[in-house]
Chain A
């Protein structure tokens, strides 16, 4: 069986951290990641950039609707995810708009963040 573990937190907690606290947290995540990858449990995973960098794609009446910001509709539920390689945001938007449920709900596009350790 495969499971996906989604990580949520209040970004304000992070923004209020000192540089050192932030680096420590990243270090901890790195070593946890190394552990679960080493044991063969973790197949992949990434940290995301803040929601400030998010864009949301919807297809309605066959037309692309693009908005700044994260997905925020509480009556929609998470249904899946794709990890995509794209040259830039324009290409990522093109790819995302091809995802069939973009017609039904929303696709949030968020850039990956490299751990600073």
Chain B
């Protein structure tokens, strides 16, 4: 079971570090299943790696480090249960054994991959608040620290840590099961997982200043989650979401100038888009569109693909985009989809047609700044400057985001020229 002892200590430490990056989430996911408790499993994971740091430099790295870590973690946890009143509720479930059983492999396929899915579905369980789902996902699946998550969501570490503790308590006390949902529930539960991943992405995507790099990391984390989910659970909407994120993220560097001001799609430098990532996104759009029933992420990705395919803004195929919005409107009939469809119609048929399409939306979107910004833009293009001015001012009064405000102020100033 042991490799030759020729490696030096530092080399082994570096290898253990690599193994941690690769395996820690898998080991954690399996330990949660074996132990039935998040907190206990996390402590066990840490203990297993401390044990590895102590033993592997002498004994060498085991052939199957993952299995070794799970066995060691499980043994440490059982010891913990015996010694600690806190885990008394788990006492009956484990017959205490005195020796860790490194021969027993708890990491057989396909269980180990299912464990990762179990972890994803449990962290994104709809009985948890959406804030808790986000925090748990980033903490348990992405292994971000509570400090990092708190900074990314512009909240305090204390609040965030409490949110995570409360969520774990609810999982334990209300008995949220650690399972991959059955066929009947899967579509709805998957939808809530995809929703969480897209929220993580958007939280990063809407970060606009260069100094909060941690927020932009959220985009990479979300994309990583998308890849992981696609590998574990191939599905059209999973590919669709991943494609959408890749295509949007490919434009990220061109969305702001050095001062952090917004640059609209029309004025972005398309040569600077990440074209390798766009190719990957386009492939996944195709995969999503061929996957049977076409869902709303696949359609949003197909729309993003149309923008990515246009070499210049003037080359955009607005006819095709309107058709895709027609389909999206059926799959996901929300006022924001209607608004975006109206904006696409304005590009195809002119601003008057866009304004007509938007008439029915006034009531539902009165508080949404982008509704007024879109209206303002159409009036501006029609030369109806006083209507444009009023709509820009209304948009400005409804947003608190610095870059958005600066953009709207600039539009107002330009109207006066």
Interfacial residues, chain A to chain B (CB-CB below 8 A): 49, 52-55, 66-69, 87-90, 93, 109, 111
Shortest Cβ distance from A66 into B: residue: B126
B169 touches A89 (CB 8 A): no
A68 touches B175 (CB 8 A): no
Central interface residue in A68, A69, A87, by most chain B CB within 10 Å: A68
B174 touches A55 (CB 8 A): yes
A-B contact pairs, 8 of them (CB 8 A): A52-B173, A53-B169, A55-B174, A66-B126, A68-B128, A68-B170, A89-B177, A109-B174
Shortest Cβ distance from B167 into A: residue: A68
Choice from B169, B170, B177 contacting A90 with Cβ under 8 Å: B177
Given A49-B174, A52-B166, A88-B177, 17 extra CB contacts under 8 A: A52-B169, A52-B170, A52-B173, A54-B174, A66-B126, A66-B127, A67-B129, A68-B129, A69-B129, A87-B177, A88-B176, A89-B175, A89-B177, A90-B179, A90-B181, A111-B173, A111-B174
User: Residue-by-residue, is B176-214 near A (CB-CB < 8 Å gives 1, otherwise 0)?
Assistant: 110101000100000000000000000000000000000
CA distance A111 to B174 in the complex (A): 6
Return B136 CB to nearest CB of chain A, in Å.
Answer: 12
B132 touches A68 (CB 8 A): yes
Residues of A within 8 A of B174 (CB): 49, 53-55, 89, 109, 111
Residues of A within 8 A of B132 (CB): 68
Residues of A within 8 A of B175 (CB): 88-89, 111
Residues of A within 8 A of B129 (CB): 67-69
Shortest Cβ distance from B185 into A: residue: A90
Return B196 CB to nearest CB of chain A, in Å.
Answer: 14
CA distance A58 to B179 in the complex (A): 23
Secondary structure call for the B interface: loop
Shortest Cβ distance from A54 into B: residue: B174
Return B303 CB to nearest CB of chain A, in Å.
Answer: 26
Residues of A within 8 A of B128 (CB): 68
Return B273 CB to nearest CB of chain A, in Å.
Answer: 39
Residues of A within 8 A of B126 (CB): 66
A53 touches B173 (CB 8 A): yes
CA distance A111 to B173 in the complex (A): 7
CA distance A109 to B175 in the complex (A): 12
A49 touches B127 (CB 8 A): no
Return B341 CB to nearest CB of chain A, in Å.
Answer: 23
A49-B173 contact given A55-B127, A68-B129, A68-B132, CB 8 Å threshold: yes
Return A65 CB to nearest CB of chain B, in Å.
Answer: 9
Shortest Cβ distance from A114 into B: residue: B89
Return A89 CB to nearest CB of chain B, in Å.
Answer: 5
Return B97 CB to nearest CB of chain A, in Å.
Answer: 27
Shortest Cβ distance from B188 into A: residue: A64
CA distance A111 to B169 in the complex (A): 12
CA distance A111 to B175 in the complex (A): 8
CA distance A68 to B166 in the complex (A): 11
Q: Which 5 A-B pairs have the closest CB atoms?
A: A68-B129, A88-B177, A55-B127, A53-B174, A53-B173
Return A51 CB to nearest CB of chain B, in Å.
Answer: 10
Residues of A within 8 A of B176 (CB): 88-90
Residues of B within 8 A of A53 (CB): 169-170, 173-174
CA distance A93 to B16 in the complex (A): 43
CA distance A89 to B176 in the complex (A): 5
CA distance A53 to B174 in the complex (A): 6
CA distance A87 to B176 in the complex (A): 10
Return A102 CB to nearest CB of chain B, in Å.
Answer: 15
Residues of B within 8 A of A69 (CB): 129
User: Residue-by-residue, is B123-134 near A (CB-CB < 8 Å gives 1, otherwise 0)?
Assistant: 000111100100
B170 touches A93 (CB 8 A): no
CA distance A49 to B127 in the complex (A): 16
Residues of A within 8 A of B181 (CB): 90
Residues of B within 8 A of A54 (CB): 174
Residues of B within 8 A of A111 (CB): 173-175
Residues of A within 8 A of B185 (CB): 90
Return A1 CB to nearest CB of chain B, in Å.
Answer: 34
Return B8 CB to nearest CB of chain A, in Å.
Answer: 49
CA distance A69 to B181 in the complex (A): 22
Shortest Cβ distance from B130 into A: residue: A68
Residues of B within 8 A of A109 (CB): 174
CA distance A88 to B128 in the complex (A): 15
User: Residue-by-residue, is B151-177 near A (CB-CB < 8 Å gives 1, otherwise 0)?
Assistant: 000000000000000100110011111
CA distance A112 to B174 in the complex (A): 9
Return B320 CB to nearest CB of chain A, in Å.
Answer: 32
Shortest Cβ distance from A113 into B: residue: B173
Shortest Cβ distance from B177 into A: residue: A88
Residues of B within 8 A of A88 (CB): 175-177
Shortest Cβ distance from B165 into A: residue: A52
- Tell me the residues in window 378-410 of chain B with beta carbons closer than 8 Å to chain A beta carbons: none
Residues of A within 8 A of B166 (CB): 52
User: Residue-by-residue, is B7-35 near A (CB-CB < 8 Å gives 1, otherwise 0)?
Assistant: 00000000000000000000000000000
